[in-house]
Structure 1
Amino acid sequence: MIAGRPAEPVEVPASVAAVVGTAQLTPVWRNQLGGLTWELGDGPQRRFVKWAPAGSGLSLGREVERLRWAARFTPVPVVLGHGADVDGEWLLTAGLPGRSAVDPRWLADPGPAVHAIGAGLRALHDALPVADCPFDWSAGARVAAVRPASMRRERFSSEHAALSPAEVLARLADVPDVDRLVVCHGDACAPNTLLRDDGRWSGHVDLGALGVADRWADLAVATWSTGWNYGPGWERPLLEAYGIEPDPVRLAYYRLLWDADP
């Protein structure tokens, strides 16, 4: 399954239907683990509801904690409600200004979107206080959770597909020295930066893995995702917008960890 806007109708779970009542739901995203996001309404009063099916490994409770912490420092969705039942979890948030960096407008004109992703990620890293952050996303913590049985090898990129589990673990054991410790987004792929119509970044969404780590943990994924969403040639412009030169060793390491991280 490829993450993106659902092309076919999706069933609304009973818990989500109970939360939104008679409000009209528009499905806007389905992730690779079966999680769904709907938009309610439009304009400044729009809201979003996310749902994670039971057994998917997605924890919206973790995201609630991180959103409430990060909202004091940077534009992220405001939590309006959260709950769970035997079928899964739901999370209701207020909308932020702007549209996703993979909105059709920006897919047709990637330059401003890529610049906004880089600038927005730098602003996020500069704004969130490492010393006050209670969440850990460090390479050490993530590698400790990797087991051969937990590797979703069907999701590995082509550059890692030929590696055996033992080879993956051996490479991950050699953690690069930290360049700069920041509070990372945790899923800095292009869709999770929002842009205003003038091309400026306006906020970040999907912060369920937010935590302290080397900034290259975010940069590796953010640059990688430009190829998935816009095609080749956009990695360096993103790094330029962030204000940093490429680091091939850290890029390669954190991309492998992204594939292996359960």
Structure 2
Amino acid sequence: MRIPADSEIPDGAVAVPAVVTALARGDAITPVWRNELGGLTFRLDDTRGGGRGARYVKWVAAGTPEIDLAAEAERLAWAARWVRVPSVLEHGADGAGAWLVTEAVPGVPAVDRRWAADPVVAATAIGRGLRLLHDSLPVAECPFDWGVPRRLPRADERIADGEGPADWAPEHQRLTLAEARARLDAPPPIDRLVVCHGDPCVPNTLLHDDGTVAAHVDLGSLGVADRWADLAVGAWSAEQDYGPGCDSWVYEGYGIEPDQERIAYYRLLWDLA
């Protein structure tokens, strides 16, 4: 799976955007994540008894079209009627960038070292969490789309920008650009339409101490698609973060047998799009 090397928990000094300082209103600010596009996430902790509780602020610089925080706020508000996701407190944008403030929810990301040491429990929980999400969110009421036709233009944009086999995951680098793109034009039949998470990688499932699912985060791409669009990528991420073979526990937790044709297709689509 292709996870850019510069997605990380910051371990050095991080410049705090002015709007984040203003949103904190004197609360403690802790950088907790930096993504490959330069987007930052901060935790705000009320250390003075102001009654605000802990919050998270996602911030992205202006001119970063790949991250749409207003769209994420809309999806979080919609999904919150049926599943546990962070509540949106506020969002906005100015000339420097955009921001999204959400409440803190219980649990720690499944990528936490505590769960890296217990990968079977964690990977199984990720599968159960995806099943819960898919079973709970109503397709007929979902206004958001994450299907193949909607995603293919992004693959074409990246190809037009010069991306090719050298930029892909190792299992796809044996394909030529023409072969890979042709495969995307021949998706397998839909297995089951669900409301997909859209970014089902390991860090985006939060777990309680007992290994049960606490919440899902980072739903900026949430939308209707074949369930394998989530499953293929979630299991791929588990294998990368926990080790070879851990993908099987995601399928076990979900309660499904691996479908190799759909897994291969949706991993290629993820890689290119």
Give the TM-score normalised by the residue count of structure 2: 0.91
CA apart distance, 1:166:
2.2
SS in 2 for 1:45: coil
- In structure 2, relative to structure 1, the CA distance for the partners of 1:152 and 1:97 (3 Å cut) is farther
Among 233, 238, 252, the alignment partner of 2:264 is 252
> Structure 1, residues 70-100: CA drift from partner, whole Å, max 9, x if none?
0001000100010111221110000111110
| 1:75 maps onto 2:90 in alignment | no
CA apart distance, 1:50:
0.4
- Structure 1, unmatched stretches of 5+, are none
Task: Provide the aligned length of Structure 1 versus Structure 2.
Answer: 261
SS in 2 for 1:51: strand
Task: Between 64-73 and 52-61, report the one with greater CA deviation.
Answer: 52-61
- In structure 2, relative to structure 1, the CA distance for the partners of 1:131 and 1:229 (3 Å cut) is same
Among 2, 14, 25, the alignment partner of 2:6 is 2
Task: Between 10-19 and 202-211, report the one with greater CA deviation.
Answer: 10-19
| 1:19 maps onto 2:19 in alignment | no
Instruction: Provide the C-alpha distance between the structure 2 equivalents of 1:7 and 1:152, rounded to a whole number of angstroms.
Output: 30
Check conservation: 1:83, 1:91, Cα contact below 8 A.
Answer: yes
Check conservation: 1:151, 1:260, Cα contact below 8 A.
Answer: no
SS in 2 for 1:137: coil
| 1:199 maps onto 2:211 in alignment | yes
Counterpart in the other structure of 1:177: 189
What RMSD over aligned residues (CA atoms) do the two structures have, in Å? 1.8
Instruction: Provide the C-alpha distance between the structure 1 equivalents of 2:46 and 2:216, rounded to a whole number of angstroms.
Output: 18
| 1:164 maps onto 2:172 in alignment | no
Instruction: Provide the C-alpha distance between the structure 1 equivalents of 2:228 and 2:46, rounded to a whole number of angstroms.
Output: 35
| 1:149 maps onto 2:157 in alignment | no
SS in 2 for 1:159: helix
CA apart distance, 1:227:
1.9
Matches within 5 A, 1:1-262: 1-41=5-45, 45-56=53-64, 57-147=66-156, 148-150=159-161, 152-153=163-164, 155-261=167-273
CA apart distance, 1:155:
4.8
Instruction: Provide the C-alpha distance between the structure 2 equivalents of 1:23 and 1:42, rounded to a whole number of angstroms.
Output: 5
- In structure 2, relative to structure 1, the CA distance for the partners of 1:167 and 1:66 (3 Å cut) is same
Task: Between 241-250 and 81-90, report the one with greater CA deviation.
Answer: 81-90
SS in 2 for 1:39: strand
- In structure 2, relative to structure 1, the CA distance for the partners of 1:69 and 1:210 (3 Å cut) is same
- In structure 2, relative to structure 1, the CA distance for the partners of 1:139 and 1:117 (3 Å cut) is same
CA apart distance, 1:42:
7.7
Check conservation: 2:131, 2:254, Cα contact below 8 A.
Answer: yes
Give the TM-score normalised by the residue count of structure 1: 0.94
Task: Between 188-197 and 52-61, report the one with greater CA deviation.
Answer: 52-61
Task: Between 160-169 and 136-145, report the one with greater CA deviation.
Answer: 160-169
Task: Between 149-158 and 215-224, report the one with greater CA deviation.
Answer: 149-158
